Chain A
Amino acid sequence: MQIPYILSIIVFLPIVAGAVMLFIPPKNRDLIHRFALAVGLIAFLLSLVVYFSFDASGPRYQFVEKYDWLPALGISYHVGVDGITAPLVLLTGVVIFTGVIISQRIDDRPREFFSFLFILASGVFGVFTSLDLFALFFFYEIAVFPMYLLIALWGWKQTREYAAMKLTLYLFIGSVIALVGALAMYFASGLNTFDMIALEGANFSPEFQNLWFPFVFFGFAVLGGIFPFHNWSPDGHVAAPTAVSMFHAGVLMKLGAFAALRVGIMLMPIGAQTHLPWIILLTLVNVVYGALIAMVQTDFKYMIGFSSVSHMGLVTMGFATLTPQGYLGAGVQMFSHGVMTALFFAVVGMVYDQAHTREIPKLGGLVKYMPFAAVAFIIGGLTSMGMPGFSGFIAEFPIFLGLWDSQPWIAIVAAIAIVVTAAYIMRAIGRVFFGELPPELEGHMHDIQPSEKLALGVLCAFMITIGIFPNVIVPIVQSGMQTVLALLGVG
């Protein structure tokens, strides 16, 4: 199916819808919710169209649109998707749709809630599709900012102000540091363009790359949750309302990893080769330490938050292996983890809404009351553990292959995380869904709404489909990563 201007529609539909929403009278709650659902659904369908019309054997960038924006400085509105971003666009569509469904119970200022959520979605779509460095920053900051209000206004009362501010400051510090690096690249290239495809051929001197790569890479990787700048992430996830946690862990963290790849690694490949071999140690800390900390959490949501830190570590670790397998795995992991963690946070939200506690020891026996959610959580859990048959396997197996090829010792240490992950996931499933329902929860628990089942079903469908038919994603990601590998001169 060919829809003209499809990427522009995807990018601007949410923000325009968000602005329009602000003029719906606040009393008209049904209309607000239905309008939000419709926008979420359209975004989801359009992202499906993009993904399934993407031709892995076709040109590198597809659905390209380019218009001058500020020609004097070589800034253009230039969008397109490649094999790396096509799955990410789809991921964003999935999470916005399921997130809106899960948010149907928001009753404090739903209009503003959905409006900010959609502004954020536009920013995310913009970052994934931008081929212009300036536009990438433009959308990146649009994506980061609404988080503050979404968490501070609708988040968990006890920590929301602290967590929202911490998250915003961390991410903005990261992005402005990266910005200085990007400006340095712009002037050093002498090309007078922000076009990233042109900048790939700028041949920055090795000294320049070695100096600036860490600024740009870490500036973005903060949002990817890289150690030691991961600290904002679990606090932010826990304080955020359910849909925002889904969006945040599911999509926003990918934004960081993706931008670190797109701007850091792809524009400064020599710098990447110098620095990534030691950065891999940091990602190792992410993976192992994140899993260990998740293990000792008694708060259900903190556990998932730290598990995200651990799993996102695998993405940057995949980059840092500098091997074809590593990059393939990282690309798939971005999608797989996004869907999986969105599902986790959705289920945690459903449990909390009814039980009003997230303490794992205070929960139990929920499988009898919400069997659908329990099964969905178990599917997510299996994905998280990297079980064959689920998307997690398709992602993690190549990462470990690549790791073994490049730095075997790190692979051995990182493998600890697999065991630990299995342990905390199994423990959570056992404690929360099986066993006896604690007496104080008697009468509070009931099944989830059909619409919520639909949301969880959609998320599970992606994990299983990719697990069984890896060919729906692997060739696409491979085609995208080929360019990265060519730039790096490996593979």
Chain B
Amino acid sequence: MFGSITAEMILAVLPEIALLVLVAIVFIADLILAEKQRGNLAWIAAVGLAIAFLLTLLFARPDAGGEQVWGGMLRHDWLAFIFKLLFLAAALLTTLLTVGWTSIWRKGEFYVLLLTSTLGMTLMAASADLIMLFLAIETTSIPLYIMAGFMTEDDKSAESGFKYLLFGAMTTAVMLYGFSLLYGFAGTTNLYEMAAALSVAQVPGPVLVGALLLILLGFGFKVALVPLHFWAPDVYEGAPTPVTAFLSTASKAAGFAVLARVMIAAFPSILADWQTIIAIAAALSMTLGNAVALTQHNIKRLLAYSSIAHAGYALLGVAAASELGVISVVYYFLVYAVTQMAAFTIVIIVWHKVGSDEIEDYAGLSRRSPLLGVAMMLAFLSLAGVPPLGGFIAKILVFAAAVQSGLVWLAVLGVLNAIVGLYYYLIVLKVVYLSEPKDTKPVPVMRSHAAALITTIALVLVLGIVLAPWYGWAAASAAALF
């Protein structure tokens, strides 16, 4: 079916191969290592992911245009390449965050699930075929359901896993139905042949929009768009925090990679319709996410609602349906992923000391540990979109894309939402800087957490100040879609 296997085809799936090997190594190490030594599993996974990251960066770089490989199942292009790097980095940071988290650390199966889910994501970003896409989404999601409910002794975690599973299975089923309709209309499952096939088949616009809505239900669930967001706060709050960090960064980014690719490759014929749908979803996500975030007292829930809002901002780039739009989405996720990781790293560090995720327990963090306070300030200000941090550039790019495509009303709504966001991020910073601490002892930081925090904060600054290289990456990804 594939003809002969070429080096190109192997390199296209280099990250997947590396992940698969790593899964096997972790499995074996889990069996060999004695109970006490199993803490090293996190390090094995981390080092393995670092190697996978480097291998991908050095050897799996695609040509400018991109091409379909493995019989049209996957596409080897810059969009896939950048997102694969993003997932590997996010998984690497997540493993660093699991160190010391009692119910996860030392459990080989957790790392196997994490790596499998990452493998699914890398395939999601590259999928060029509906069937491959569906398999990739399932490979990503099923481990995530288990990971969210991993702390079985904790009711909230169990509830979180179960809720995620139920809603996830439901929306996936609907999405699959949408896929089947699409196949029925077009007679092909390949995304890149879809547009031509649909126009030949002369499928009426409204019917196609109906099928598209079913598919969007699945994608929208993955990236937690309003009105498919209701699972996110509960799952984020209940899941072990390292899992929450992974869910809200890598998993969301994977959803967007698929969204951008499918929309632009397969549905040019109903461009105006899907633009409107996406624009409305963006408006709702930004507004509702920010409005509800205002009332949160738990930092994980606050970050959950804020991440709904961030998905809304990133949707502006998709709604723009332009090259700059895709560039802005890619840049947005590079920035958002590292920033959100930095924020969750701090949440985890504080949790280890105070055992709580309530915002009031962050009182006086800056007096207890001034540098941790600064790190938190930088992370939250980047989320708020203040320069010279990455969030500023990311926001400017999505707003610019919206303005360029004539969606000025959406850009205005976006910037006003950014102000609401700024308000609640400042409220948290006020607690960190202004409130009197209940306990003045410094907050200890484990070495692995410090490594994750320093890396992410440095990246937040680098992404905000040195713009040209990352913009070049994003532009190459966008060029691969158009």
What is the interface of chain A, defined by CB distance below 8 A to chain B?
22, 26, 68-73, 75, 109, 112, 134, 137-139, 141-142, 145, 148-149, 152-153, 161, 165, 168-169, 172-173, 176-177, 179-180, 183-184, 186-187
In the complex, which residues of chain B have a beta carbon less than 8 angstroms from the beta carbon of A70? Answer: 467-468, 471
- Which of A22, A73, A179 is close to B374, meaning CB atoms less than 8 Å apart? A22
With A145-B386, A152-B434 known as contacts, the answer to whether A180 contacts B370 (CB < 8 A) is: no
Query: Knowing that A183-B404, A187-B404 are A-B contacts, what are 15 other residue pairs whose CB atoms are under 8 Å apart, sorted by A's residue number?
Result: A22-B370, A22-B374, A70-B471, A72-B472, A72-B475, A73-B400, A75-B467, A112-B370, A134-B396, A142-B387, A153-B433, A161-B434, A169-B419, A183-B400, A184-B403
B419-A176 in contact (CB<8A): yes
| A183 CA / B410 CA spacing, docked (Å) | 13
**Contact between B396 and A179, CB atoms less than 8 A apart:** yes
Cα distance A22–B404 when bound, in Å? 41
Report Cα–Cα, A169/B425, bound state, in Å: 12
Task: Report the contact-size class of chain B (Cβ under 8 Å from the partner).
Answer: 20 to 34
Write the chain B residue with the least CB distance to A174. B419
Q: A165 contacts which chain B residues (CB < 8 A)?
A: 423, 426
Chain A residues with CB under 8 A of B433: 149, 152-153
Question: Is there a chain A Cβ closer than 8 Å to B26's Cβ?
Answer: no
Q: Is B49 an interface residue (CB 8 A)?
A: no
When the two chains form their complex, are residues B468 and A141 in contact, meaning their CB atoms are under 8 A apart? no
CA distance A161 to B415 in the complex (A): 23
Nearest-neighbor residue (CB-CB) of B417 within chain A? A176
**Interface contact A172-B471, CB-CB below 8 Å:** no
Q: Which residue of B lies closest to A183 (CB)?
A: B403
Q: Do B415 and A72 touch across chains, with their CB atoms under 8 A apart?
A: no
Q: Within the complex, what minimum Cβ distance (angstroms) separates B447 from chain A? A: 20
Closest partner residue, chain B, to A123 (CB atom) = B387
Residues of B within 8 A of A153 (CB): 433-434
A72→B429 contact, CB < 8 A: no
Q: Are B471 and A168 in contact (CB-based, < 8 A)?
A: no
CB distance from B461 to the nearest CB of A (A): 10
Contact pick for B403, options A75, A137, A187, CB 8 Å: A187
**Does A177 contact B388, Cβ atoms closer than 8 Å?**
no
B415 touches A68 (CB 8 A): no
List of A residues within 8 angstroms of B388 by Cβ:
138, 142
Q: With the chains together, A180 CA to B396 CA distance in Å? A: 9
Q: Decide if B412 touches A180 in the complex (CB within 8 Å).
A: yes
Whether the pair A179, B399 counts as a contact (CB closer than 8 A) is yes
Query: What B residues does A69 contact at CB under 8 A?
Result: 467-468
Is residue B416 contacting chain A, with contact meaning CB distance below 8 A? yes
- Hey, which chain B residues are within 8 Å of A161, CB to CB? 430, 434
Q: Among B366, B392, B404, B411, which residue has its beta carbon within 8 angstroms of that of A141?
A: B392
Contact mask for chain B residues 430-450; partner A; CB cutoff 8 A; 1 contact, 0 none: 100110000000000000000
> Hey, what's the 0/1 contact readout for B252-265 against A, CB within 8 Å counting as 1?
00000000000000
Task: Kindly state whether residue B247 has any CB partner on chain A within 8 Å.
Answer: no
Residue of A nearest to B373 (CB): A112
Contact of A71 among B370, B416, B468 (CB under 8 A): B468
B382-431 residues with Cβ-Cβ distance < 8 A to A are 386-388, 392, 396, 399-400, 403-404, 408, 411-412, 415-416, 418-419, 422-423, 426, 429-430
Contact of B386 among A26, A73, A141, A186 (CB under 8 A): A141
- Separation in Å of the B303 CB from the closest CB of chain A? 20
Partner of A173, one of B386, B419, B426: B419
Q: How far is the CB of A189 from chain B (nearest CB, A)?
A: 12
* A176-B418 in contact (CB<8A): yes
Question: Please, could you name 23 A-B residue pairs with CB atoms under 8 Å apart, sorted by A?
Answer: A69-B468, A72-B472, A73-B471, A109-B367, A137-B396, A139-B387, A145-B381, A152-B433, A152-B434, A153-B433, A165-B426, A169-B419, A172-B418, A172-B422, A173-B416, A177-B412, A179-B396, A179-B415, A180-B408, A183-B399, A183-B400, A183-B404, A184-B403
Could you tell me which residues of chain B, from 437 to 482, have a CB within 8 Å of some CB in chain A? 467-468, 471-472, 475
Q: What's the least CB distance linking B242 to chain A, in Å? A: 28
A322 to B387 CA separation, bound complex (whole angstroms): 34
Task: Please list the residues of chain B having a beta carbon within 8 angstroms of any beta carbon in chain A.
Answer: 366-367, 370-371, 374, 381, 386-388, 392, 396, 399-400, 403-404, 408, 411-412, 415-416, 418-419, 422-423, 426, 429-430, 433-434, 467-468, 471-472, 475
Complex Cα distance, B374 from A26, in Å, reads: 14
Min CB–CB distance A141 → chain B (angstroms): 5
In the assembled complex, the Cα of A165 lies from the Cα of B475 at a distance in Å of 37
Of B367, B381, B404, B415, the residue contacting A177 (CB under 8 A) is: B415
Q: Closest approach, in angstroms, between the C-beta of A172 and any C-beta of chain B?
A: 5
Q: State in angstroms the CA–CA spacing of A186 and B404 once bound together.
A: 9
Contacts of B408 in A (CB 8 A): 180, 184
Whole-angstrom CA separation of A161 from B423 in the bound complex: 12
Give the residues in chain B near A109, CB-CB below 8 Å: 367
Q: How far is the CB of A462 from chain B (nearest CB, A)?
A: 31
- For A141, A149, A180, which residue has the most chain B Cβ atoms within 10 angstroms? A180
Contact A169 B423 (CB under 8 A): yes
4 A-B pairs with least C-beta separation = A176-B415, A70-B467, A183-B403, A138-B387
Q: How distant is the Cα of A73 from the Cα of B475 in the complex, in angstroms?
A: 11
Question: Contacts A145-B386, A183-B399, A184-B403 hold; do A152 and B430 have CB atoms under 8 A apart?
Answer: yes
B411 touches A183 (CB 8 A): yes
B370: chain A residues within 8 A (beta carbon)? 22, 26, 112
Beta-carbon contact of B374 and A141 below 8 Å: no
B82–chain A nearest beta-carbon distance, Å = 16
- The minimal Cβ–Cβ distance linking B107 to chain A, given in whole angstroms, is 38
Closest residue of A by beta carbon distance from B412:
A180
Contact B419 A180 (CB under 8 A): no
Central interface residue in B370, B387, B472, by most chain A CB within 10 Å: B387
Cα A180 to Cα B433 with chains together (Å) = 32
A149 to B404, CA, bound (A): 35
A430 to nearest B CB, angstroms?
39
State the Cβ distance, B473 to closest chain A Cβ, in Å: 11
- Assembled-state Cα–Cα distance A221/B366 (Å): 34
A75 to B434, CA, bound (A): 37
Measured in the bound complex, the distance between the Cα atoms of B418 and A145 in whole Å is 14
Most chain B CB atoms below 10 A, which of A26, A73, A134, A168: A73
Q: In the complex, which residues of chain A have a beta carbon less than 8 angstroms from the beta carbon of B429?
A: 149
CA–CA, A176 to B430, complex, Å? Answer: 22
Inter-chain contact A176/B475, CB cutoff 8 Å: no
Q: How far is the CA of A149 from the CA of B381 in the complex (A)?
A: 12
**A145 / chain B contacts, CB cutoff of 8 Å:** 381, 386
- Residues of A contacting B422 with CB < 8 Å? 168-169, 172
Contact B419 A172, beta carbon cutoff 8 Å: yes
The distance from the CB of B399 to the nearest CB of chain A, in whole angstroms, is: 6
B434 touches A180 (CB 8 A): no
CB distance from B283 to the nearest CB of A (A): 15
Bound state CA distance, A187 and B407, in angstroms? Answer: 13
In the complex, which residues of chain B have a beta carbon less than 8 angstroms from the beta carbon of A137? 387, 396
Q: Which residues of A contact B467 (CB under 8 A)?
A: 69-70, 75
* Closest-CB distance, A306 to chain B (whole angstroms): 26
Please measure, in the bound complex, the distance between the C-alpha atom of A145 and the C-alpha atom of B425, giving whole angstroms: 12
CA A284 – CA B374 in complex, angstroms? 43
Q: How far is the CA of A75 from the CA of B396 in the complex (A)?
A: 12
**CB of B158 to closest CB in A, whole Å:** 39
Query: Chain A residues with Cβ under 8 A from B374's Cβ?
Result: 22
Q: Give the chain B neighbours of A148 by CB distance below 8 A.
A: 426
The smallest beta-carbon distance between A13 and chain B, in angstroms, is 15
Which residues in A have their C-beta under 8 angstroms from that of B371?
A: 22
CA distance A173 to B418 in the complex (A): 9
CB distance from B123 to the nearest CB of A (A): 30
Within the complex, the shortest CB–CB distance from A147 to chain B, in Å, comes to 11
